[in-house]
Copies of this chain bind each other. A is one copy, B any other.
Amino acid sequence: MMAPVLDGSRLAGCYCQSFVKESRIPWPKACAFSRLSKVFSQNSLISSTAKFTSSPVPFLGVGCVIKKKGVNVLSADISALNLASEFLYACDDEYDGVIIDPESLPSSANAFVSALRASLFQLETEGLCTSGKKGVWLKILSEQADLVPIAVQEGFTYHHAEPGYVMLTYWIPDEPCMLPASPSHQIGVAGFVLNDKREVLVVKEKCPCSCSGVWKLPTGYINKSEDIFSGAIREVKEETGVDTIFQEMVAFRHAHLVAFEKSDILFVCMLKPLSSEITIDEKELQTAEWMPLDELLEQPFYLEDHMSRKVIDICIKAYEDQYSGFIARQLNSKLDGKLSYLYYNELKNISSIVM
């Protein structure tokens, strides 16, 4: 069926929208060691394997230690102190991996390296033979930064980072890592706002970059978990004070190697103005104004930039109902139980073109 195409699950690090699944499934019983652990061979750590194979306490990834909204829920028969001194807490993800609970990380370097090695050894020796665990996610908070060099030394690789933490990963099998890559794109929005006098809302930014001093559409990045159409409306309001409503997304440009060698998608949104008074954000803008469309088209730059000329053509056609972009509709998916927006060409737009 078509449905699963929308569940967010894609291999090359397959995962679904519910990335982390809390789980009470018991960790598989210890088994004979089929191979030396990569960690052990890397660090030539000598240790008694009996300790792990016979240990009655939970291991890395064991289901009886569940992280719920930052609270560790422990089974009654387990001593957290005893565990913390030897193993790291973790919960399973849905994709043959485990996620170490950052709140379970020992503060001392020695305790951390010891618990990390013991846990990785347990995971590798058990995981490879029965549970099939392949990847380990390790989130280290800023206040735990002393642990970062240790994790790297133990074979972890940086995955992504945000203010407040860095996420590292460890891939067990001797095959290419299948964990999902870190986010690769920034999403920008541009608002094309034309009033009933055929005046376009344009701005000049203070940014000292190559666009400095040129008239442009209000643009910006969408915020975390913000929708494209909402971001376009917000950016126009923040930069110019003009209230708008979303009509359609008319085109987007996909550019590569922008910042940090990542990529960038800029969605051009047609917005209808609900107010006309301009109040600029003086931190971001030099100025803003309603510029007659003809005056905009007469600027020399328009003749020299193919990308820009094409976008101008598209926006004008959209304004004149001779073009059909994508509208946004919120729909529910059974697979993740989430409401999310589908952007597509509303057929009534096309019929309006036919008429």
Contacts and interface: CB of A to CB of B under 8 A. Distances in A.
Nearest to A9: B211
Interface in A253-280: 253-266, 268
Given A148-B148, A161-B158, A161-B161, A302 B2 contact: yes
A163 B159 contact: yes
Contacts of A308: 1-6, 333-334
Contact of A145 (B152, B180, B268): B152
A78 to B, nearest CB: 27
Given A11-B205, A225-B256, A344 B306 contact: no
B162 A158 contact: yes
Interface string A147-188: 011001100011111111111000000000010111111111
A30 interface: no
A7 B211 contact: yes
Contacts of A26: none
Contacts of A10: 188, 219-221, 235
B158 A166 contact: yes
Contacts of A245: none
Nearest to A96: B208
Interface string A321-347: 011111011011111101011111101
A246 to B, nearest CB: 13
Work out how many copies of this chain go into the complex: 2
B3 A340 contact: no
Contact of A251 (B224, B268, B326): B326
A215 interface: yes
Interface residues of A, number: 134
B163 A158 contact: yes
Contact of A2 (B222, B296, B341): B296
Contacts of A202: 1
A305 interface: yes
Contacts of A314: 344-345
A320 to B, nearest CB: 12
Nearest to A15: B259
Contacts of A13: 221
A3 B124 CA distance: 54
A210 interface: yes
A94 B3 contact: no
A184 B137 CA distance: 19
Contacts of A221: 10, 12-13, 180-181, 184
A114 to B, nearest CB: 19
7 contacts: A4-B214, A6-B305, A11-B239, A158-B166, A183-B186, A184-B221, A350-B350
Interchain residue pairs A-B with the least CB separation, the first 9: A4-B216, A3-B308, A14-B207, A251-B344, A158-B161, A161-B161, A145-B149, A5-B217, A225-B256
Given A1-B301, A19-B260, A307-B332, 4 more contacts: A10-B220, A13-B221, A18-B210, A350-B350
